[in-house]
Structure 1
Amino acid sequence: MTTTTTDRVGPAASALPLTGRVAVVTGASSGIGAATARLLAARGARVALLARRADRLAGHVAAIEAAGGTAFAVPADVTEPDAVTAAADRVRERYGRVDLLVNNAGLALPDLLGQGGANWRRMIEVNVNGAFAVTEAFVPDLVAAAAERDHADLVTISSAAATSVLPGFGGYAASKAAVSHLLRNLRAELSPKDVRVTTIEPGTVDTELRDHLGDPELTAAVQGFVDSLGQLPTGTDVAELIAFAVTRPRHVNLPLLTLLPTREA
């Protein structure tokens, strides 16, 4: 019989509060996703790491296993629905039903108006369509898991940009606004089924996203802003917030969490 968190008592339960849970983390090849996969595994979950870069995933899985955790890599592109469906099947074959999904895959690109809208389309594909495809693939697992053990968790990484004005990054802000509002509606749909829905809206975080802007002038401007903030939260800081949210008592849901650098208004 599978041991759940609430069945355990004593120091081991406190140290490994996610024992018995099966987690999927998208965008797990770097940044917030990689840090989240490591932390969830360290807290006892069996974790499937999903992203495009298979070599990165393999390295993270090796590190998790070396630390005593359980993980495996699922290379897949969230913008390809068939690949997402196949990935979901692989996870079920390996670990069984998923009860914790962390939707993290995302892109932050400048608008670059006048260039045919390529960046806009790419962000909609990854940030919005990708998040929806992954959610759709795993929601049946979450609902079934919640019926069996009284709760499951859907966590999605949006952005503080969802409620901000970001000149030069309006497309990114719009994509994240769509994600945040989608999750508000999904919570209304899923909470009666005991699936807890949590949206996390980080501000500026020390990840590699800003290294892929593709515009030297804009990259310099963004770096100047980042430098003005002093020390930034890391992917691990966001991962700690995720772990906190999904280890609350079953009757407690944290629907919206924002994490900012201390100096960011």
Structure 2
Amino acid sequence: MTTTPHTQSIRSPYAALSGRTALITGAASGMGEATARLLAAHGARVALLARREERLTGLAERIGADGGTALVVPTDLTDQASVDAAADRVHAAYGPVDLVVNAAGVMLPNPIADGRADEWRRMLDTNVTGALRVIRAFVPDLVEAAGAGGTADLVNISSIGAHVPFPNYAVYGATKAALTYLSQSLRTELGPQDVRVTNIEPGLTDTELAGHVDNADLSAELDGMFEALAGLTSDDIADLIAYTTSRPRRVNLRQVIALPTRQA
């Protein structure tokens, strides 16, 4: 039977991801997991970084069953030695990476007057310093890839909380504002070297972050927001990341603010 343009296979909008080497933090759940699945489904080999090895192993098995390639790399981003060991393992298995997604993060809201220094340290160590450790370890790879004529991407997952203040989320918002500003500044350093830096700022999104909240009143408030606003899914954010990183290397979608329609 003669095919027509309508019956011929349609080129994937993410075809440019095929053959790339991606590293995703926070890959055990939420946006990181969804991003790893989507990038692998379109031909990228993915390095999965997170603390929960059993979750990473299950994800890698699912990716492999679907024909993809995934490397399990248990990593604690709050520990420099752990990040260094992860970089060594990724480089030994895959060589240099050309796509880095900083998706790891924690959200621990409480009134500032509660003085929860333990939560402040955890958010700063994960959301800011953890991202910096990954950037330090893999930016040389990105510069090398871009210098060789390839596409190189650094994607940081921030939050609408970087711009819009919410009561009791001051420290979380401050860490995300730091990540947003870091992304802006890195573009001035890495853009001239053809490395793209993209900052994704989701609004209300259904991830495990809400499960970390230990304040019953704030947890109930979050539940009410999801019911009222119909939050985004992790797959929605993964889709944005795949789209952004599959554009021609001359195009840098520098900042994407993605909100549920009812929140916008």
TM-score computed with the length of structure 2 as normaliser = 0.93
Structure 2 distance, partners of 1:153, 1:116, is: 35
Give unpaired runs (5+ residues) of structure 2.
Answer: 1-8
Measure, in 2, the Cα distance between the counterparts of 1:225 and 1:203: 11
Q: Distance in 2 between matches of 1:133 and 1:15?
A: 28
Secondary structure in structure 1 of the residue aligned to 2:191: helix
Q: CA deviation at 1:149?
A: 2.4
Partner amino acid, structure 2, of 1:66: A
Which position in structure 2 is the counterpart of 1:114? 114
Shift of 1:150: 3.8
Q: CA RMSD in A?
A: 1.5
The change in CA–CA distance for 1:143 and 1:224 in structure 2 (over 3 A counts) is same
Tell me which residue corresponds to 1:126.
126
Q: CA offset at residue 115 of structure 1?
A: 3.8
- The residue number in structure 2 matching 1:50 is 49
Partner of 2:5: none
Cα-to-partner distance string for 1:217-249 (whole Å, 9 max, x where unaligned): 21111211221113x211111001000001111
Name the aligned partner's letter for residue 50 of structure 1: L
Q: Write out per-residue CA displacement over residues 165-213 of structure 1, whole angstroms, 9 at most, x where no aligned residue.
A: 1101111000000000011000110000010000000000011110110
Mapped partners of 2:13, 2:130: distance in 1: 34
Q: Distance in 1 between matches of 2:136 and 2:206?
A: 29
CA apart distance, 1:134: 0.5
Separation (CA, whole Å) in 1 of partners of 2:249 and 2:14: 18
Q: In the alignment, what sits opposite 1:66?
A: 65
Secondary structure at the aligned position of 1:154 is classed as strand
The reply on whether 1:252 has 2:260 as its aligned counterpart is no
CA–CA distance in structure 2, aligned partners of residues 165 and 235 of structure 1: 22
Please list every run of 5 or more consecutive structure 1 residues that lacks an aligned counterpart in the other structure: 1-9
Tell me the residue number matched to 1:140: 140
TM-score (norm 1): 0.93
Equivalence for 1:20: 19
Give the alignment of 1:201-216 within 5 angstroms. Answer: 201-216=201-216
CA distance in 2, matches of 1:110, 1:207: 15
Tell me the residue number matched to 1:6.
none
Give the aligned residue type for 1:75.
P
Equivalent AA in structure 2 for residue 39 of structure 1:
L
- Give the distance between the partners of 2:13 and 2:180, measured in 1 at CA: 32
Conserved? CA contact 1:24–1:102, under 8 Å = yes
Provide the rounded CA distance (Å) in 2 between the counterparts of 1:217 and 1:19.
45
Number of the residue aligned with 2:6: none
**Aligned equivalent of 1:38:** 37
CA distance in structure 1 between the aligned counterparts of 2:45 and 2:150, rounded to whole angstroms:
19
Distance, in Å, in 2 between the alignment partners of 1:250 and 1:262 is 30
Alpha-carbon distance, 1:14 to partner? 5.8
Instruction: Give the corresponding residue for 1:219.
Output: 219
Count of residues in Structure 1 that have an aligned counterpart in Structure 2 = 255
| Mapping for residues 163-178 of structure 1, pairs under 5 Å | 163-178=163-178
String of CA shifts for 1:101-128, please: whole Å, max 9, x gaps: 0011000101343344211111001000
1:75 CA drift (Å): 0.3
Partner of residue 87, structure 2? 88
Do structure 1's residue 100 and structure 2's residue 99 form an aligned pair?
yes
Query: What SS does structure 2 have at the residue aligned with 1:47?
Result: strand
Q: 1:225 corresponds to which letter in structure 2?
A: M
Give the secondary-structure state (helix, strand or coil) at the position aligned to 2:148: helix
Q: CA deviation at 1:13?
A: 7.1
8 A Cα contact 2:24 2:101, kept in partner: yes
Structure 1 residues 35-44 or 214-223, which shifts more?
214-223
Report the Cα offset of residue 151 of structure 1: 2.8
Instruction: Kindly report which structure 2 residues correspond to 1:3-18, keeping only aligned pairs within 5 A, or say none.
Output: 16-18=15-17
**Tell me, what secondary structure is at the counterpart of 1:149?**
coil
Equivalent position of 1:199 in the other structure: 199
Report the CA distance shift for 1:243/1:15 in structure 2 as closer, same or farther (over 3 A): closer
Residue 20 of structure 1: CA displacement? Answer: 1.6
